[in-house]
Structures are given as C-alpha cells and as structure tokens.
C-alpha cells in the first residue's frame, strides 16, 4: 500500500495489515545515556514504530533466532521505520558482527553522556535496587592509596566509548552510526531530534512545539505522548537524584576518562564538551 499517512493507512493498521519487519534502525547504547528519552521522543513521529521493551536479542537471546526477533516487532506499513533499543549492545563484543549479518545497512544510534556522570547514574540505579552495595568510591578504585581505577567495574568500563566504538567500526562505517549527545537531548531536545530524523531519512515532524520543560524533573517532557492526548514525562525511575560523591574521586575519574574522551571526539568528529 501507500505511505503511512491518511485514512487508508490508518484503516490498514486497524485491520491488522502491515507486516512485521526486522528493524532498520537500532539504538545500541549507552546505558544511562538517555536512550529511553530518545525512544519515547522518537515515537511521536508517525513513521516510527518501536518495540517498548528492550529485546536484548543480539546480546542475550541470539540463539532464539531472527524469526523470534522479528515477531517481537510491531507491524508497519511501507515507508515506516521499525526500531528497537537495547543499550547493552554497545558494549557487547559479538553484537556488531551479529547485527551486520542481519543487515549491513542497519542504522545505529548511540546516545552518549559524560562518562563520569554516566557512571554515577549507573551506580545510583544499582543502589536503588540493592541499598547495601559498597560506596561508589570503594568500587571506583582497585586500590585507594595508589589511586588505581578499577576498569573492570562495568560502571566505569561502559564509559570508555572509544574502546567500544573500535569494535563497531570493524563492521560498520562511521557514517552509519549517529552519536546523540545525552546532555543536548535534555537542553535542546528538538535540535537533537532534528539530527536523528535527518539520519533516519524522516521528515522533520518532531519540533520544539512537542516539548515543554518540566522544572520539577529537570527534564523536557512531551506535550502529547504517542497515541495519547495527555502530556507525558518519563517515569519515576528517570532523573534520580545522584548521591554526593567525593570531589577528589570525581576529579580522578575526569582525569582517567580525558584521553579516552579526546580519542572519541577524534573518531566521531564531534566534541561533546565533557571536559
């Protein structure tokens, strides 16, 4: 049938037509970067159809096969884009080869955020589930006296973006990966969404008219969520207050990440302004 617009399109969907397709675009990372916000903002677009839950296909469920994966997808009409997000793909060794073997043309989106605040946010999330874990400080260092940082701790490991990106570039050209700034997604959601819509080849339908800034949450929210007339902010688990972390520890982490950040800026041709 024709495009997604218009009565015919709506009717076709109501009649359960349209077909499930493998995703042409995937938000592959990063954890605590702003991936949920990006997906919810994108779903406002009439030509974007996305899976709500994270499928974790290319990291945890790969043995279930592509048919299983495809069945999770929403039905789409011609001209609509099927999407999913699973932020752990970015740090999964096997994911690039697996996605590439599904389709070399898959468009990849990575939402990145200052690795230090990302690590603290990651820790905060874990803390909310397991209140008795050790302090952030004690998990950060292999040895507090020597100041040696424990890079095996996933909260720190994930933020070494340059290292993970190298793995993806073995399978995908850099032009097929869009890097979204988690900070700008908050300060200028419409601007970042403009870049995303362009990258996906979509009409720029999502603009600043769609957002309002919620002062309580410190977040942009949608005036109308997908398929609803109510305003919609992200849920209670989003935008948690971070615990106070020793400034000396924060500084040590800034110094640790700096060379990796610089390398990442070089690789992507984007300065994210984290230093």
Domains annotated for the chain, with CATH where assigned, are 20-268 (3.40.50.300)
The total of other beta-carbon atoms located within 10 Å of residue 167's CB is: 16
Q: Which residue intervals of the chain are DSSP H helices? A: 6-14, 35-42, 66-72, 95-102, 115-129, 136-140, 154-157, 161-168, 182-187, 189-199, 247-268
How distant is the alpha carbon of residue 68 from its chain centre?
Answer: 23
105 annotated binding-site participant:
no
pLDDT above 60 (res 2): no
Of the candidate ranges 82-96, 109-123, 225-239, the one whose mean pLDDT is the lowest: 225-239
Each residue of 96-113: pLDDT tens digit?
999 999 999 999 999 999
Each residue of 140-168: pLDDT tens digit?
999 888 889 999 999 999 999 999 999 99
Helices and strands, counts by H and E, the chain: 11, 11
Catalytic (active site) residue 217: no
The catalytic position among 31, 32, 85, 107 is 32
Mean pLDDT of the chain: 94
End-to-end CA distance of the chain: 50
215 annotated binding-site participant:
no
Q: What is the pTM of this model?
A: 0.93
Each residue of 166-182: pLDDT tens digit?
999 999 999 999 999 99
Task: Tell me what the mean pLDDT of segment 125-153 comes to.
Answer: 94
Of the candidate ranges 127-136, 229-238, 265-274, the one whose mean pLDDT is the lowest: 229-238
242 annotated binding-site participant:
yes
pLDDT at 151: 97
70 annotated binding-site participant:
no
Each residue of 36-81: pLDDT tens digit?
999 999 999 999 999 999 999 999 999 999 999 999 999 999 999 9
SS3 of 180, please? strand
32 annotated binding-site participant:
yes
User: DSSP letters of 113-139?
Assistant: --HHHHHHHHHHHHHHH-TTSPPHHHH
Angle at 37 between CA 32 and CA 43, to 5 degrees: 140
204 annotated binding-site participant:
no
34 annotated binding-site participant:
yes
Q: What is the Rg, in whole angstroms, of the alpha carbon atoms belonging to the chain?
A: 20
Task: Kindly state the percentage of the chain with pLDDT values over 70.
Answer: 97
Nearest to 79 by CA among 51, 49, 58: 49
113 annotated binding-site participant:
yes
Each residue of 181-228: pLDDT tens digit?
999 999 999 999 999 999 999 999 999 999 999 888 888 999 977 777
135 annotated binding-site participant:
no
pLDDT at 1: 46
């Amino acid at each position: 049938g024709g495009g997604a617009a218009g009565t015919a399109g709506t009717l076709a969907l109501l009649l359960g037509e349209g077909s499930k397709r493998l995703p042409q675009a995937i938000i592959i990372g990063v954890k605590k970067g702003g991936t949920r916000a990006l997906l919810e903002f994108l779903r406002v677009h009439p030509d974007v159809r996305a899976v709500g839950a994270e499928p974790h296909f290319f990291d945890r469920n790969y043995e279930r096969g592509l048919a299983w994966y495809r069945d999770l997808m929403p039905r789409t009409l011609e001209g609509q884009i099927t999407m999913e997000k699973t932020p752990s793909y970015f740090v999964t060794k096997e994911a690039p080869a697996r996605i590439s073997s599904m389709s070399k043309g898959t468009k990849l989106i990575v939402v990145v955020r200052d690795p230090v605040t990302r690590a603290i946010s990651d820790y905060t999330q874990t803390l909310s589930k397991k209140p008795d874990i050790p302090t952030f400080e004690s998990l950060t260092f292999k040895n507090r006296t020597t100041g040696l940082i424990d890079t095996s701790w996933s909260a720190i490991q994930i933020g070494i973006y340059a290292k993970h990106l190298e793995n993806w570039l073995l399978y995908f050209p850099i032009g097929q990966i869009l890097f979204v700034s988690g900070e700008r997604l908050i300060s200028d959601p419409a601007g970042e969404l403009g870049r995303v819509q362009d990258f996906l080849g979509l009409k720029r339908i999502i603009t600043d008219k769609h957002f309002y800034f919620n002062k309580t949450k410190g977040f942009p929210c949608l005036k109308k969520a997908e398929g609803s007339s109510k305003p919609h902010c992200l849920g209670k688990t989003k935008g948690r207050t971070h615990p106070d972390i020793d400034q000396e520890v924060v500084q040590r982490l800034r110094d640790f990440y700096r060379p990796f950040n610089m390398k990442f800026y070089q690789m992507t041709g984007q300065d994210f302004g984290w230093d």
